[in-house]
């Protein structure tokens, strides 16, 4: 970790390909992520979001589908 940042402050990101072959990045909470045209762009995004800490990147060997819906459902409950 750089800059004295505690390990818990640096998010972990999952990186893999979805069933259509697109590169997917997602954090386990569903708060951040996206679809990317290639692996390089996906990893650039991850490095910019996690304090350039490659130890917090998990490459998923199986299919990884982007799911930001769980977070959206939580927000809907809070508003209602």
d(CA 58, CA 76): 29
Average pLDDT over residues 21-33: 91
Query: With 60 as the cut, is the pLDDT of residue 76 above it?
Result: no
Whose tokens are 């998990």? That residue is 58
Degrees to nearest 5, angle at CA 60 with 58 and 65:
115
Domains of the chain: 10-79 (3.30.160)
* pLDDT for res 64: 94
Give the 3-state secondary structure of 4-57.
CCCHHHCCCEEEEECCCCCEEEECCCCCCEEEECCHHHHHHHHHHHCCCCHHHE
| Predicted structure pTM score | 0.73
Q: How much is the pLDDT for 80? A: 44
pLDDT level of residue 71 (50, 70, 90 thresholds): low
Q: Read off the pLDDT of residues 32-65 as tens digits, 9 standing for 90 and up.
A: 899 999 999 999 999 999 888 888 999 999 999 9
């Amino acid at each position: 970790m750089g800059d004295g940042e505690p390990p818990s402050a640096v998010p972990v990101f999952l990186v893999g390909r979805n069933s259509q072959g697109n590169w997917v990045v997602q954090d386990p909470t569903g708060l951040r992520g996206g679809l990317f045209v290639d692996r390089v762009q996906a990893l650039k995004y991850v490095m910019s979001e996690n304090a350039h800490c490659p130890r917090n990147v998990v490459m998923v060997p199986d299919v990884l589908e982007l799911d930001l819906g769980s977070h959206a459902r939580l927000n809907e409950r809070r508003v209602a």
